Chain A
Amino acid sequence: MGSKIEKLLIEFARIHRFMVSFLREAVSPPYEFKEIIRQCYEIGWKSFPLISLTGFIVGFVFTKQSRPSLEEFGATSWLPALISIAIVRALAPLVTALIASGKVGSQIGAELSSMNVTEQIDAMEVSGTNPTKFLVSTRIIATTFMIPVLCFYVAGIGLFGGYLSIIGKDDLSMLAFFTQVFESIAAKDIFAMVIRAVVFGFTIGFASSYVGYYSTKGTEGVGKAANSAVVSSMFLVFVEELLIVQLLALIN
């Protein structure tokens, strides 16, 4: 029992150190713009097909499933308002974060841990390049930037899916649909969405890099790291979602 607590405390100290060295390296020159852009491209490109499909399906299915309840009140004309609020306030950031946890998180975890296992991180360090700066900071910055970008994309494609679902039954012009959408979402909804996405993006980058960087040696360490990168990213995303919802309720 005592040793378990001790282990936990050591782990927290290590996370703290990792955070501090990330922050220090992220703000101090020289900046790794080239590598950051490469990482952004990797993240965006790798998750693009899956995120497109998922975003579309979520919008489409959610709309289809919501229709009967509104039909009971003869309120199907409210569908665009309903789905836009649902997508912007909850679905888009969550779906993006979960897909990215799986796709990007596992990638970062596996990549860094295999570099660790094969001493590539040590090799970088002895050749005079700070691996926290070159490998970790760039990835965390890239996810923090790209998850919000992908989130906007998911919101767009989800709404499009919703629109397609609506015109399967009703007559509604695209223009009328999007007019209603923009009337029902407020600036603060967009703002809250961006905040969520930034927090989730940072979390995914940080958690995945951390488990990859400190993975145990050996090939099984790589699998374990990829796995726990996904699990811990998803877990943290849900916990944060819960906290953010409470916080926003307080502010309103």
Chain B
Amino acid sequence: MEKNKVNIDQNETVIHVDDVSKSFGDLHVLRNVDVRLYKGENLVVLGRSGTGKSVLIKLISGLLSPDTGNVRVLGETVNELDDRELRALRQRIGFSFQNSALYDSMTVRENLEFPLVRNKRNLTRAEIDKEVEEVLEGVGLSQAINQMPSELSGGQRKRIGIARTLILRPDIMLYDEPTAGLDPITCLDINSLINEVQERYNTSSIIITHDLACAKMVGDRMVMLLDGKFERQGTFQEIFDTEDKRVKPFYDYNFIV
């Protein structure tokens, strides 16, 4: 399943994680990490559990701040922004959480409306409804609009979570394990959705995944987090063309065993 060619501008960096380190107590999660995301690109981040992939995107969205180094997003240094500037920047970043993080006291409709109503206060009721229906149709779940999150399956929740982040039409999307725990057909749907978002809105995305089929399908470029650093970068072939014992099992597990 080959990816369509997309327009990537290597001269325009939308995210630059610049020499960033992050520890929790004695646990050094990221050590002088340096990685860039270019305009219009899908960057896949690979790495074992607990290596700090989620921490990386939390640094990018300002949920955590780096111990040293800088995180630059769309020309702004995240760790230097005040509340108001950070809020403005966050509206341009979509964050799809590993566990969906749907608001479980609200219906699907209210979940989707929430970012819209809160950030664009001059929209009319009709405009809001239209946006909600459109984005819900995009993830193929129009029928779920009045359900509560607790009534949905894991895969449906994930799609609603992605829909909720797409509704603000972000310039950057951060997907934390979008296909984890889903059946192959839903995985394919989600991968297509990720590519569609990239093609249609020229969104730049970071996709964290353990699923190499997903990585292959959506990624323009890949980086692998090993011992707190991005030691390997490149295309799918380049990453796995190695006998490194920390890398090879990823491939073997996904495609051979």
Which residues of B have CB within 8 Å of A120? 101-104
On chain A, the residues within 8 Å of B102 by CB distance are 120, 123
Q: Are A127 and B97 CB-contacts (below 8 A) given A118-B104, A120-B102, A122-B63?
A: no
Interface bits A92-122 vs B (CB < 8 Å: 1, else 0): 0000000000000000000100110011101
What per-residue 1/0 map shows which CB atoms of B58-70 lie under 8 Å from chain A? Answer: 1001110000000
B87 within 8 A of A: yes
Which residues of chain B are near A134, meaning CB under 8 Å? Answer: 118
Could you tell me the distance in whole angstroms from the C-beta of A78 to the nearest C-beta in chain B?
50
Q: How far is the CA of A129 from the CA of B91 in the complex (A)?
A: 10
Q: Collect the chain B residues with CB atoms within 8 Å of residue A115's CB.
A: 103
Query: Considering the chains assembled together, what is the distance between the CA atoms of A30 and B61 in angstroms?
Result: 23
Bound complex: CA A86 to CA B152 (Å): 53
Which one of B58, B88, B121, B168 lies within 8 Å of A127 (CB-CB)?
B168
Would A122 and B101 count as touching, CB distance under 8 A?
Answer: yes
Within the complex, which residue of B95, B103, B104 is in contact with A126, where a contact is CB–CB below 8 Å?
B95
In the complex, chain A residues whose CB is within 8 Å of the CB of B90: 125-128
Flag if B97 contacts A129 (CB, 8 Å). Answer: no
Contact A127 B63 (CB under 8 A): no
Given contacts A128-B87, A130-B87, contact A123 B118 (CB under 8 A): no
The interface bits of chain B over 208-226 (1 if a CB of A lies within 8 angstroms of the residue's CB, else 0) are 0000000000000000000
**Is B114 in contact with A127, judged by CB distance below 8 angstroms?**
yes
Looking at chain A's contact residues, is the secondary structure mostly helix, strand, loop, or mixed?
helix
Residues 22 to 42 of chain B near chain A (Cβ within 8 Å): none
Q: Are A127 and B115 closer than 8 Å at their CB atoms?
A: yes
Query: Distance in Å from the Cβ of A101 to the closest Cβ of chain B?
Result: 22
Contact of B63 among A30, A126, A129, A130 (CB under 8 A): A126
A128 / chain B contacts, CB cutoff of 8 Å = 87-88, 90-91, 115, 118-119, 168
> For residue B117, which residue of chain A has the nearest CB?
A129
- Of A30, A114, A122, A126, chain B has the most CB atoms within 10 Å of the CB of A126
Q: Which residues does chain A contribute within 8 Å of B108, judged by CB atoms?
A: none
- Bound together, the chains give a CA A71 to CA B114 distance in angstroms of 63
Alpha-carbon distance between A116 and B7 when the two chains are bound, in angstroms: 38
Decide if B71 is an interface residue (CB 8 Å cutoff): no
Interface flags, B73-108, vs A, CB<8A=1, else 0: 000000000010001101101010111011111000
List, in ascending order, chain B residues with CB within 8 A of A30's CB: 121
Separation of A111 and B103 alpha carbons in the complex (Å): 11
A127 to B162, CA, bound (A): 12
CA distance A250 to B7 in the complex (A): 77
Residues of A near B101 (CB, < 8 A) are 118-120, 122-123
Q: Which residues of A contact B105 (CB under 8 A)?
A: 111
* A126 near B61: Cβ-Cβ < 8 Å: yes
Supply 18 A–B pairs (Cβ within 8 Å), ascending by A.
A111-B105, A114-B104, A118-B99, A118-B104, A119-B98, A119-B101, A120-B103, A122-B101, A123-B97, A124-B103, A126-B90, A127-B90, A127-B114, A127-B119, A127-B165, A128-B87, A128-B115, A128-B168
User: Could you list which residues of chain B lie within 8 angstroms of chain A, going by C-beta atoms?
Assistant: 58, 61-63, 83, 87-88, 90-91, 93, 95, 97-99, 101-105, 114-115, 118-119, 121, 164-165, 168
Give 19 new A-B contacts, CB below 8 A, not counting A123-B101, A126-B62, A128-B90. A30-B121, A115-B103, A118-B99, A118-B101, A120-B101, A120-B104, A122-B58, A124-B103, A124-B114, A127-B90, A127-B95, A127-B118, A127-B164, A127-B168, A128-B88, A128-B118, A128-B168, A129-B115, A129-B119
